[in-house]
Structure 1
Amino acid sequence: MDYSIIIYFIAIFIQITVTFEYNDDYDVEQQVASQSFVPISEPIDHLSSSIFDSLSQSNLSLASFLFTDHTINLDGLGISNIEPNTFVNYRVPVTTIILASNFLSYLPNNIFQPFSSTLINLNLQHNQFRSLFNNYFLRHLEQLRTLDLSKNQLHELHKQDFTDLRRLETLILRENKLTCIPYAIFSRCRTITTLDLSDNQISIMDPNAFRSLYRLKTLLLSNNPLGQRLLTHQLMEPIKNLEYLDLENTQLNDLSPFLFISNQHLLSIKLRRNNFQTKVNDSSHSLQRTFCRADSLIEIDLVSTHLRSLDVCTYDQVPSLQRLYLMNNPLHCTCDLFYLKYGDIYRVLLTDGNGVDRVHTDIDTYLDRWISRPELRRHLEKAHARGDFYRLPIELSLFARCATPKQWLGREIGNITGIFTQCQQRWSHIEQECQNYCQLDKQIEASMTTIKNTSLRSIQSSSFFVELYFVVLAFRLCI
């Protein structure tokens, strides 16, 4: 009996069966997809309970279900007004509501009452809200985690706007018309970890604007006319857990010394598209000692900031600093700049691991060969672990190029070799100059003490009023 023929027919049968099953599944999916989206041909200017009920029954795209994530999606329907009882008949425990790209400027006070215990995400971006004052639709949303109010017309903020948002983690206010951030404006929602204020017109900011935001990790302030006078020690002091700060295009010319001394979790600062212009051989550098004592800082973005030279000790004394982004700057390449990457590398490679100097007839050739080898990183990490130097070499970003002097014109600063002979003497002086560079002087210490005392008095004052509140409450209950 020829089994090959039998096997051949079995294979054909399996292929036909699978094809039919695939086509059946595809037809079912297409049918569900066609039923799940009913295009809305005309804008819904006025949304009522009856209209919403009919939409939710006929248009499955309004309610997307993914495991326990229940979403009402009313994006881009041309809605100008919503009646207070619009969602009263909707019994699903909704976690996300999307009302983006409509024409809303006001919402009824209890509009989200049916979802007060379940609503986690509320997207109101690209509407026409000018203010949230006397607009209490956010009240009692105690489970809300994310609130997106970007691309509206908000021109003011009030503490009362965020009352009862006790679990709010992400607040997005990007692309509004805000000009001022008042005192402790976010103190009613102390759990915020991400705050986006970018692309506004903020030129006034109270020194205590971020008071109570102890959990804040990401702060976005880009594209605002801040100026350096707004960025003070007092402003930065409360946000002790900050990890990422975006100050791109904020009209900065300089920043204060030791500005981030209170931010011991700060990992990354974005300063691109500001104007930190410096002159060659000018001792008064921009950003002088700005990053001193920011001991957790890993990267600083200085792209397109008109920098010609750096205050080398400021960056050298940040032990965790790994990357400096310097692209699109007219850099004057000197031994000071090269020291940040090459100084420690050369010192390590010229010793045998026991601190004894090696003798080479052509030191630059030996070192240039090592610079491009992948084993170098492991060698440096071992030397760092032994304590041969206190930080790993700083990467000076690809594509950052020298503008002067002529010998290095157009060369990438991360790939320049053969500089040990001409820089060796200067590097030894830099090491001595930078040794105590980030020690606090009396003026800075006095300023920090004042800030701490002010903060302490503020906390004590808050505690006093809380205690007074409970005393009055107890008295009323007794009466």
Structure 2
Amino acid sequence: MNRSGFLVRLLILLVCLLPVLQACPQSCHCHGGDLQHVICDNVGLRKIPKVSEQTKLLNLQRNNFPVLPANVFKEMKGLVSLHLQHSHIKEISSGAFRGLKQLVYLYLSNNEISVIKMGAFEDLTELTYLYMDHNKISDLPKGLLSPLVNLFILQLGNNKLRELRSGAFSGTKDLRWLYLSNNSLSSIQAGGLDDVENLAIFHLDKNQLSSYPVAAMSKLRVVEDLKLSHNPMKVIPDLAFQSFGRYMETLSLDNMGLEKFSDKAFTGVTTLKKIYIENNKLNQLPGTFPFSNLETLTLSNNPWHCSCQLLPLRKWLESSRSRPEAACASPSPARGQQIRDTAALRSCKLPTKRSRKGTRH
């Protein structure tokens, strides 16, 4: 056979093989040219299937992959979105996502992940959205998340985290939304948030924080939405929100057993629009409480002491369209009366600011 004849036959063979090489994995559904979307949802897979380098979206949720081994996605260089929810994953090996340099979305929610080996997130430099909620993750060792330099949203709610140590978020300087709800966090070390000073949404509700982590929180600069509900904190200390008070719009402190705000707790807070403080043990509010821009305030199920100290609250309630419930618990004659209606505050007057000595009139 001459050389040209051999090349023609080889070309024919390759053309015949191409459909096989680009075939949709068995039991899966594929859409778009070059298998751009491969859907293998709930088809009984126990092994990661092979797909085209041109595949952009791979949906593998509701299958059975107890361990994600190293290099298992290495040839899927074009992946942008990878779905692995509800797949009984327990362990992620070092290098499991190696090669996925274009991946933007990674969904690992609702698994049984308790082991994430160092180097697991190697190569995920474009990853922007990472969902790992509803797992059994108990620790974030320093360096684990370091490759994720473009991470914007991290969902870690409903895990078993007990502590945030210094360097936990090393490398993730662009992180903006961090969800840590419903873990077992009892401590955030002073350097635990040093690397995520640009957080805008920070949810820490349903944890075990018994004191406000002042040192760690002071590193944050632009938090707009802070959620601390359902933590057993009794006191919010002075200057708690000062470092991001010019940006904070929503603050959730309900269902905490909260007894007191320190006098300067709200120093620097200027833009707050929504505060949730129902179901606590509060009887007073500090003089620095930020009523000026407030639109929503929940107050019910607190033992309010209806003295003149609550007059600023009374004035706000009178002007509020939302008419939240807020009943007096004391003194006895006012018990059960709404703060906005009780006679206990009718004779009170707002204090007037004295003019400074030497001021010209």
TM range (shorter): 0.7 to 0.9
Could you tell me which residue of structure 2 aligns to residue 131 of structure 1?
91
Alpha-carbon distance change, 111 to 257 in structure 1, aligned in 2, over 3 angstroms: closer
Distance in structure 1 (CA, Å) of the matches to 2:86 and 2:255 = 30
Alpha-carbon distance change, 271 to 339 in structure 1, aligned in 2, over 3 angstroms: closer
Q: Pairwise mapping of residues 235-254 of structure 1 onto structure 2 (< 5 A)?
A: 235-254=192-211
Q: CA deviation at 1:289?
A: 2.8
Distance in structure 2 (CA, Å) of the matches to 1:171 and 1:179 = 17
User: Alpha-carbon deviations, 1:65-122, whole Å to 9, x = none?
Assistant: 5x99942111112222245xx32xx57x322111111111235655545531x21111
For structure 1, the residue ranges without an aligned partner over 5 or more in a row are: 1-47, 57-61, 278-284, 345-363, 375-396, 433-479
User: Alpha-carbon deviations, 1:227-257, whole Å to 9, x = none?
Assistant: 1xx3233112221211111101111121133
Tell me which of 298, 322, 327 is aligned to 2:249: 298
Q: CA deviation at 1:409?
A: 3.2
Distance in structure 2 (CA, Å) of the matches to 1:51 and 1:99 = 17
Q: Pairwise mapping of residues 206-225 of structure 1 onto structure 2 (< 5 A)?
A: 206-225=165-184
Alpha-carbon distance change, 368 to 266 in structure 1, aligned in 2, over 3 angstroms: closer
Tell me which of 110, 127, 143 is aligned to 1:168: 127
Distance in structure 2 (CA, Å) of the matches to 1:343 and 1:269 = 17
Tell me which of 320, 329, 333 is aligned to 1:404: 329
**Secondary structure of residue in 1 paired with 2:265:** helix
Tell me which of 102, 106, 120 is aligned to 1:143: 102
Maintained 8 Å contact 1:328/1:400: no
Alpha-carbon distance change, 185 to 107 in structure 1, aligned in 2, over 3 angstroms: closer
Q: Pairwise mapping of residues 63-212 of structure 1 onto structure 2 (< 5 A)?
A: 63-64=30-31, 70-82=36-48, 86-87=50-51, 90=52, 93-107=54-68, 109=70, 111-116=72-77, 118-134=78-94, 136-212=95-171
Q: CA deviation at 1:142?
A: 0.4
User: Alpha-carbon deviations, 1:126-150, whole Å to 9, x = none?
Assistant: 112221125x441110000111111
Q: What amino acid does structure 2 have at the position aligned with 1:372?
A: S
User: Alpha-carbon deviations, 1:6-42, whole Å to 9, x = none?
Assistant: xxxxxxxxxxxxxxxxxxxxxxxxxxxxxxxxxxxxx
User: Alpha-carbon deviations, 1:26-62, whole Å to 9, x = none?
Assistant: xxxxxxxxxxxxxxxxxxxxxx989954545xxxxx2
**Secondary structure of residue in 1 paired with 2:291:** helix
Distance in structure 1 (CA, Å) of the matches to 2:154 and 2:276 = 24
**Secondary structure of residue in 2 paired with 1:293:** helix
User: Alpha-carbon deviations, 1:414-444, whole Å to 9, x = none?
Assistant: x56884742524x869xx9xxxxxxxxxxxx
Maintained 8 Å contact 1:81/1:107: no
Alpha-carbon distance change, 309 to 103 in structure 1, aligned in 2, over 3 angstroms: same
Q: Higher mean Cα deviation, 315-324 or 138-147? A: 315-324
Q: Higher mean Cα deviation, 252-261 or 200-209? A: 252-261
Distance in structure 2 (CA, Å) of the matches to 1:270 and 1:335 = 19
Distance in structure 1 (CA, Å) of the matches to 2:168 and 2:316 = 53
Alpha-carbon distance change, 245 to 184 in structure 1, aligned in 2, over 3 angstroms: same
Could you tell me which residue of structure 1 aligns to residue 188 of structure 2?
231
Matched, 1:327 2:278: yes
Q: CA deviation at 1:316?
A: 4.4
Maintained 8 Å contact 1:259/1:290: no
Q: CA deviation at 1:330?
A: 3.8
Maintained 8 Å contact 2:70/2:93: no
Q: What amino acid does structure 1 have at the position aligned with 2:203?
A: D
Distance in structure 2 (CA, Å) of the matches to 1:79 and 1:51 = 17
Maintained 8 Å contact 2:141/2:168: yes
Q: CA deviation at 1:275?
A: 1.6
Distance in structure 1 (CA, Å) of the matches to 2:317 and 2:222 = 34
More strand per residue: 2
Distance in structure 2 (CA, Å) of the matches to 1:309 and 1:409 = 21
Distance in structure 1 (CA, Å) of the matches to 2:35 and 2:221 = 36
Q: Pairwise mapping of residues 22-61 of structure 1 onto structure 2 (< 5 A)?
A: 52-53=24-25, 55=27
Q: CA deviation at 1:165?
A: 0.6
Q: What amino acid does structure 1 have at the position aligned with 2:80?
A: I
Distance in structure 1 (CA, Å) of the matches to 2:293 and 2:133 = 42
Alpha-carbon distance change, 320 to 188 in structure 1, aligned in 2, over 3 angstroms: same
Maintained 8 Å contact 2:157/2:181: yes
Maintained 8 Å contact 1:327/1:400: no
Alpha-carbon distance change, 313 to 180 in structure 1, aligned in 2, over 3 angstroms: same
Could you tell me which residue of structure 1 aligns to residue 4 of structure 2?
none
Alpha-carbon distance change, 119 to 341 in structure 1, aligned in 2, over 3 angstroms: same
Report percent identity of matched pairs.
20
Q: What amino acid does structure 2 have at the position aligned with 1:221?
A: L
> How many residues are matched?
314
Q: CA deviation at 1:323?
A: 2.3
Matched, 1:266 2:223: yes
**Secondary structure of residue in 2 paired with 1:72:** strand
Tell me which of 314, 319, 323 is aligned to 1:372: 319
Q: What amino acid does structure 2 have at the position aligned with 1:300?
A: L
